Structure 1
Amino acid sequence: MNRFQVRKVAVLGAGVMGAQIAAHLVNVNVPVILFDLPAKEGPKNGVVDKAIAHLKKIKPAPLADASMADRIQAANYEEHLDLLAGCDLVIEAIAERMDWKLDLYRRIAPHVAPHAILASNTSGLSINAMAAALPEAMRPRFCGIHFFNPPRYMYLLELIATDLSDATVLDQLETFATSTLGKGVVRAKDSPNFIANRAGVGSILSVMTQAEKFGLTYDVVDDLTGKKLGRASSGTFRTADVVGLDTMAHVIQTLEDKLPSDPFKALYARPAVLKTLLDAGALGAKNGAGFFKKVGRDILRFDPATGDYVPGGAKADPLIDRIIKKPAAERLKLLRESSHPQAQFLWAILRDSFHYAAVHLEAIAETARDLDFAMRWGFGNRQGPFEIWQDAGWAQVAGWISEDIAAGKTLCDAPLPAWVSSGPVAEAGGVHTPAGSWSPSRKAFVPRSDLAVYRRQHFPENVLGSAAVDPLTAGTEVFRSPELRVWTLDGEVLIATITCKLNLISQEVTQGLAKAVELAESGYQGLVIWSPGSNGAPNETFFSAGANLEGLMPVFMSQGAAGIAPVEKELQDLMLRVRYASVPVVAAIRGMALGGGCELSIYCARRVQAMESYMGLVEMGVGLLPGGGGLTYIARRASEMAQAVPGSDLVACLKEGFTAAATAKVGTSALENRHLGFALWSDVIVPNKDELLFVAINEAKAMMASGYRPPQRARIQVAGRNGIATIKASLVGMRDGQFVTGHDFHIASLMAEVVCGGDIDAGHSVSEEYLMALERQHFCALLTHPKTQERIMGLLQTGKPVRN
């Protein structure tokens, strides 16, 4: 098989984007050289060295593990251009100045390897214009590659071909970006600001325009245009602050300069309030003031009428909240017909987004699917504009838009394209169909890419109307309960999918998983525990958020702690059943694996993690200690580490695991999960979330094919009462220094008793069952503690932890 291998990447430009692209490359284990100009004073690599050091300080962290900054090789254009010859991919990420970019290309051209791909990370400059300045031999291997900021977290990546780009080169780069970088790739046309920024900024400008028209304040608008509307939780004006008002102004200016004949040209004029803020030096979050300003604990909003900041925090009218929750068709009808200014505002911005997307689709994207994905992945929308339109009734909404155009209510008088109301789209009732999504340029419904890399994605994100297979009904079902589905795709590996809210582990789930292990042992090569993510909502994904405490309340109320003990033992027995199963049980982790979810994963034979996986024993937050075997696992791991290196201090080996549990520390990446001991170095990390199930299934098969045998049961050496005393001494200092509360100290002391084996001599060996019995005893005792009950009720009622 002829495969394009990316053994090393060069990133040109150590600014915000260049440095963070380099960081993401080392996150996924790709060697990278980061270039910039030679420093005028001191070491020649000073500019790059400073940028690399800064990566360790940025929040959200661009590095999945801060220590990986050392893997970025620093270089400068004066001394190190010869290093480019060893790079398979060169990503240019310097400032958005065409003359600077072209000058750099002329400089590097003699040094770039003949087989290498050269790509410009630009947010909107013409890719064809750049290609024209390159030597003729390089043009087929040149294209645009637009990362979204921050590169580690933003799923969208736009690829932009030139008229001369080799199709095979684009396919190779898309494969690398998808599988290695973990991105959702959209092919964009070479038009100003490409797809996401073109449609996204158009939407933001519509919001700004309509907010002023309907007299709504920025806080109310953000409440209306955030999660309630299925968009990013930061809303519109807060998002602008985070992006940077200067950056926003630059993107708007690009639209105004490059699109003189655009029917929406009037929209591209810089809003007066944006000019006012920029003139005052208010750049947004980067310097503390923009549309909003934080003063102490208060969030103030800018008032354009007074030119000053005033108290913020206003919310949408509850009536509008109720309308927004209605199904799409009813929701849009009610918004359009209401006289309430907030309802009229929402109808206006939704109508504008549909109108803008339809008018510009052919110029900026190949299909409607590309535009919808770009808005999902680049701007955090749950659905793209075409999906919402289609969901609400294509013909009805098209009629409303046309009526508003005729009445002069829209942002421009351009009619909807003919394909909207006649022909295949009108007949199909929308742009997305099982056959594919509408392409105005091809005048056909175009299916998704058939590149080999996408065959690894059993259940990729899909658009409304595509009739994609639902993972909750796919494959062959073996058995199902209200909270668990056990099924198989290939008849060789079983898959267990928790289906309840937050994938919480109830007694029903515990019993179902035990049954799944038994079935896997009887006729399958393994068991994979996997749950799909929320389509269009990647930040709302859970492997499992832990035990279902609310479900235990009736038992506790009727039987007290004595009624909980058997339930806890059943959960602990499941963990041992999973660990000692005769076939490998593989946890396929994406998103949150907390509390009992973390315990379930650490008792599996292998963990296959998406890069953005967050694991932790967080029971301290609800006034409990890990009761599903988590502390037993920490004790076992410490014993194994101590025995592996004779003479090791067992208490020292306990420190990291105990501290993580006692402080409810959560690993913030798959790499950090390894450092905390929630994942092993032998576990697999998968950059692309949609490849997780494919890899996990194949991992189970490979383990079985290589003669898998479960670990042998072994006794655990514990630190005993001496270890307890040592740990408690350090806890006393934390309590007396007011770093932890009295109840935190009490719970951590009980944790210390478990991981050290209780009141026995140091060096004594115990069984896992013995330690789990200690866990159960203290877990149940804590349930009766008033402060624990206060924490549990606080979390159930408000969703927020209580500190007491």
Structure 2
Amino acid sequence: MSRFPIKKVAVLGAGVMGAQIAAHLVNVKVQVVLFDLKAKEGPANGITAKAIANLKKLKPAPLGVAEDADLIQQANYDDHLEQLKDCDLVIEAIAERMDWKLDLYKKIAPFVAPHALVASNTSGLSITKLSEALPEEIKPRFCGIHFFNPPRYMYLVELINTPTTRPEALDQLEAFVTTSLGKGVVRAKDTPNFIANRVGIAGMLGIIGETAKFGLTYDVVDDLTGKRLGRASSGTFRTADVVGLDTMAHVVKTLQDNLSLETDPFYGSYGTPPVLAKLLEMGNLGQKAKAGFFKKVGRDILRFDMASGNYVAGGEKADEVYGRMLQRPAAERLALLRNSEGPQGQFLWAVLRNSFHYAAVHLQTIAETARDVDLAMRWGFGMQQGPFELWQEAGWLTVANWIQEDIAAGKALSNAPLPDWVFKGPVAEAGGVHTAEGSWNPSTSKFVARHALPVYARQLFPEKISGHTQGLGLGGSFETAGKTLHEDKAIRLWTLDDQIIIASIKTKMHAISPEVSEGLARAVDMAEKDYAGVVIWSGDEPFSAGADLQAMLPGFMMGGAGAINKMEKALQQVMLKIRYANVPVVSAVRGLALGGGCELAVHSARRVVAMESYIGLVEVGVGLVPGAGGLTYIARRAAENAALSTHKDLLPFLTEGFTAAAMAKVGTSALESRKLGYLLDSDVIVPNKDELLFVALNEAKAMAAGGYRAPHKRQFLVAGRNGKATIQGQLVNMRDGGFISQHDFHIASLIAGVVTGGDVDNGTLVTEEYLMSLERKAFCSLLENAKTQERIMGMLSTGKPVRN
């Protein structure tokens, strides 16, 4: 497949989805022009202008940096259709009305570039019917594209072809969506609601029905069907509130309008549940209306009571016996639930049985393979495992027989039997639908490997499907891949190519313990002797949640602050060893890089960062100051930036870094982390998390091939006692105004003292080692402070910050 560069995209429709798709395109540096109707009053682009302005206010934020909203070009259909000729991709995202979409296609068709791809963002309309309004020359370049809301954060994108879609066009779009937009692509068949919404909404309808059948409350069901069941933490009813009950009702109506008992044996379960109809009638559409299945009143969460039509006290939890059952291995878990006598256990078995039954019956009509269904449910509905994965893990034929028994007994949602391929042939012989060869395709009766597009060569260790390794990057698991050079309980040092050492931290949350520090130092020593560089990559999130506080406690209890001073100094020396290594050390950051994780990243020669990464110095939350060189980094970068400016006052360059550390600011995207100074312009932001290692390894190799040398150790200027006095004056105002506590004031004053260089004159030259000694002194003094000890113990016991 030849490379198909998409430089500019047109998004048609400035509604909720269209505007947010445009925002995400800006996040990944793709030029975008957003179209809508011409305003009847005021500026011609008033509709798009209002939508773009609203992007800055939305939560969760659709933009990595709010001011990037200004990069979205505004247009309307009356004046600017000529601009379509410059676009390589046109995404139509107007309201879910077939007639409106068809009218728009006729209008834009003469202006679409002869090479451009055209896609309709729809959650369930027939892509084939939509294509019929297009001229013959556009039909081969047209397909469906289904982003999930919110587009920036939801990983799943479904692509849907028509009988006239050219295969290369779909391949080109899949490559762009995967690597440039950072999404996980699943190809769906052109059926109502495609894969994820078809299975997911049917599942939610089933849960609502089973909830009523077993007499359970919505909060209990959410407790049972959230993290305990390996699904989204918001459970079922809270998820419905977040999505919007009107949106859910629209997807349900698509099933009702486009299917029948003749075409879908589960059609009888697609009726609008009475409780959903009642809430819609009341205008309680969920989170956006501040009331749905749940309603927040002050600090209390109330739940809707269908019998009375009112909201009543909520917060009820599931019986803990079922929580313990759900922690058991899959086979034992499902057996316990199926044999349970309590309504909560029977409910859980019914929910799982219904999901297995539905997925098996519909697999052939909605998807190419079982892999597509499982990935769609993971990526679109937050499941840890798709239905086929869990079924297979629990014992394929055993569970299949249980399901068939329930169908025969009239307990299932439909009397449709499981397909023959479930019980005999290759699936039964293999013990499931996922094998080393690939995943089951019932249309061809074969196990099929993942699409072998060139873009997937960039995903060395993508998400694994249980039992399926064929065609997934290098295959196998990163925990055992390559050649191990050193491994202990804290870290694994390994290589794929005998050029770059990969350092993978193994501790919980990839916390930086003394053993991790030793392992990182070992990696640098080994690389300087025999390799071209080091990449710090631990396979999954987070990059590192910070220093291991629990590992410090025994040392503090036995040796007091003196013992911690020694540990901190050792950690600081490792950071400097990484910074001044004779080979490039690249941090491949994904997810959280907080505290010590942030310090590890900023001392690396380069950072390769997944878009959805959250970076910051957050030690204030546990009553401490950054102690592994974070404050030294802030002071040094301020001096370096000031040296490049004609403005000779150092303090303005220091203010943002100080504020970020003192207020524990965290960049809520890689883009914002760059703005805060934790990433440099030379660092690489990668949209797709699964491409992180590939890019990081290539960065390290390129740096080495370019003759990388460590930076010179230099002294740099600090603002001194006068700079500290200026900062402290502002802190006094914040304390006296009630914005920060006395202890916050004390910690921030210590931070100010370090970043300004202590009790020295303005313009004094200092070394990193000198500032690190000030960090250690401040860090250790706080450890002996009772209020800091309260914060540390509170965080360790509850995981939440204590404000004191």
Q: TM-score band (shorter)? A: over 0.9
Aligned to 2:323: 321
Secondary structure at the counterpart of residue 137 of structure 1: coil
Aligned to 1:306: 308
* Cα distance in 1 for residues equivalent to 2:282 and 2:766: 68
- Name the aligned partner's letter for residue 246 of structure 1: D
* Cα distance in 1 for residues equivalent to 2:270 and 2:285: 19
Q: What's the TM-score, normalizing by structure 2?
A: 0.99
Q: What's the TM-score, normalizing by structure 1?
A: 0.99
Aligned to 2:628: 628
Deviation at 1:256, TM superposition (A): 1.1
* Cα distance in 1 for residues equivalent to 2:52 and 2:255: 33
1:692 aligns to 2:692 (yes or no) = yes
Deviation at 1:320, TM superposition (A): 0.8
* Cα distance in 1 for residues equivalent to 2:791 and 2:577: 31
Aligned to 1:482: 489
1:399 aligns to 2:401 (yes or no) = yes
1:742 aligns to 2:749 (yes or no) = no
* Cα distance in 2 for residues equivalent to 1:548 and 1:2: 48
* Cα distance in 2 for residues equivalent to 1:566 and 1:209: 61
Aligned to 2:192: 192
Aligned to 1:536: none
* Cα distance in 1 for residues equivalent to 2:294 and 2:483: 52
* Cα distance in 2 for residues equivalent to 1:319 and 1:123: 39
- Name the aligned partner's letter for residue 192 of structure 2: P
- Name the aligned partner's letter for residue 83 of structure 2: L
- Name the aligned partner's letter for residue 294 of structure 1: K
Aligned to 2:572: 572
* Cα distance in 1 for residues equivalent to 2:101 and 2:623: 57
Q: Deviations over 1:445-483 (max 9, x none)?
A: 000111000001100112111144110110010001111
Aligned to 1:373: 375
* Cα distance in 2 for residues equivalent to 1:373 and 1:474: 23
Deviation at 1:648, TM superposition (A): 2.7
- Name the aligned partner's letter for residue 462 of structure 2: P
Secondary structure at the counterpart of residue 138 of structure 2: helix
Aligned to 1:92: 92
Secondary structure at the counterpart of residue 344 of structure 1: helix
* Cα distance in 1 for residues equivalent to 2:454 and 2:140: 22
The correspondence of residues 180-259 of structure 1 with structure 2, limited to 5 A, is 180-259=180-259
Q: Deviations over 1:624-656 (max 9, x none)?
A: 000000000000001111111133321111100
Aligned to 1:412: 414
The correspondence of residues 86-165 of structure 1 with structure 2, limited to 5 A, is 86-165=86-165
* Cα distance in 1 for residues equivalent to 2:784 and 2:478: 40
Aligned-pair Cα RMSD in Å: 0.7
Q: Could you tell me which of 499, 507, 511 is aligned with 1:500?
A: 507
- Name the aligned partner's letter for residue 490 of structure 2: E
Aligned to 1:537: none
Alignment size in residue pairs = 797
* Cα distance in 1 for residues equivalent to 2:202 and 2:283: 24
Aligned to 1:345: 347
Secondary structure at the counterpart of residue 241 of structure 1: helix
Deviation at 1:532, TM superposition (A): 1.1
* Cα distance in 1 for residues equivalent to 2:648 and 2:397: 73
The correspondence of residues 464-483 of structure 1 with structure 2, limited to 5 A, is 464-467=466-469, 468-483=475-490
Deviation at 1:524, TM superposition (A): 1.1
* Cα distance in 1 for residues equivalent to 2:538 and 2:678: 19
* Cα distance in 2 for residues equivalent to 1:756 and 1:133: 67
Secondary structure at the counterpart of residue 136 of structure 1: coil
Aligned to 1:516: 523
* Cα distance in 2 for residues equivalent to 1:133 and 1:624: 64
- Name the aligned partner's letter for residue 523 of structure 2: A
* Cα distance in 2 for residues equivalent to 1:650 and 1:682: 23
- Name the aligned partner's letter for residue 100 of structure 1: W
- Name the aligned partner's letter for residue 708 of structure 2: Y
Secondary structure at the counterpart of residue 543 of structure 1: coil
Deviation at 1:2, TM superposition (A): 3.2
Aligned to 2:472: none
Aligned to 2:442: 440
* Cα distance in 1 for residues equivalent to 2:670 and 2:384: 25
Aligned to 1:179: 179
* Cα distance in 2 for residues equivalent to 1:460 and 1:647: 47
Q: Deviations over 1:699-737 (max 9, x none)?
A: 001111111111100002111110110110000011111
Q: Could you tell me which of 355, 358, 361 is aligned with 1:356?
A: 358
* Cα distance in 2 for residues equivalent to 1:3 and 1:542: 33
- Name the aligned partner's letter for residue 359 of structure 2: A
* Cα distance in 1 for residues equivalent to 2:159 and 2:464: 19
* Cα distance in 1 for residues equivalent to 2:607 and 2:523: 18
Aligned to 1:491: 498
Aligned to 1:40: 40
* Cα distance in 2 for residues equivalent to 1:707 and 1:2: 32
Aligned to 1:733: 733
Q: Deviations over 1:546-575 (max 9, x none)?
A: 000001111111111111111100000001
Secondary structure at the counterpart of residue 666 of structure 2: coil
* Cα distance in 1 for residues equivalent to 2:254 and 2:9: 29
Aligned to 1:664: 664
- Name the aligned partner's letter for residue 301 of structure 2: I
Deviation at 1:132, TM superposition (A): 1.2
* Cα distance in 1 for residues equivalent to 2:2 and 2:597: 41
* Cα distance in 2 for residues equivalent to 1:133 and 1:171: 23
- Name the aligned partner's letter for residue 734 of structure 2: M
Secondary structure at the counterpart of residue 52 of structure 1: helix
Aligned to 1:56: 56
Q: Could you tell me which of 272, 287, 292 is aligned with 2:274?
A: 272
What residue ranges of structure 1 are gaps of 5+ in the alignment? 534-540
* Cα distance in 2 for residues equivalent to 1:143 and 1:655: 50
Secondary structure at the counterpart of residue 803 of structure 2: coil
1:16 aligns to 2:16 (yes or no) = yes
* Cα distance in 1 for residues equivalent to 2:644 and 2:98: 58
Aligned to 1:70: 70
Deviation at 1:744, TM superposition (A): 0.6
Deviation at 1:525, TM superposition (A): 1.1
Q: Could you tell me which of 283, 287, 290 is aligned with 2:289?
A: 287
Q: Deviations over 1:342-399 (max 9, x none)?
A: 0000000000000000000000000000000000000000000001101111011001
1:81 aligns to 2:81 (yes or no) = yes
* Cα distance in 2 for residues equivalent to 1:206 and 1:394: 22
1:452 aligns to 2:454 (yes or no) = yes
* Cα distance in 2 for residues equivalent to 1:180 and 1:692: 13
* Cα distance in 2 for residues equivalent to 1:96 and 1:756: 58
Aligned to 1:538: none
When structure 1 is superposed on structure 2, of 462-471 and 477-486 the one drifting more is 462-471
* Cα distance in 1 for residues equivalent to 2:41 and 2:405: 64
Secondary structure at the counterpart of residue 544 of structure 1: coil
Deviation at 1:10, TM superposition (A): 0.2
Secondary structure at the counterpart of residue 339 of structure 1: coil
- Name the aligned partner's letter for residue 182 of structure 2: G
Deviation at 1:523, TM superposition (A): 1.3
The correspondence of residues 605-624 of structure 1 with structure 2, limited to 5 A, is 605-624=605-624
* Cα distance in 1 for residues equivalent to 2:255 and 2:576: 60
Aligned to 2:757: 757
- Name the aligned partner's letter for residue 428 of structure 2: A
Aligned to 1:390: 392
- Name the aligned partner's letter for residue 378 of structure 1: G
- Name the aligned partner's letter for residue 293 of structure 1: K
Deviation at 1:755, TM superposition (A): 0.5
Q: Which runs of 4+ in 1 moved over 2 A?
A: none
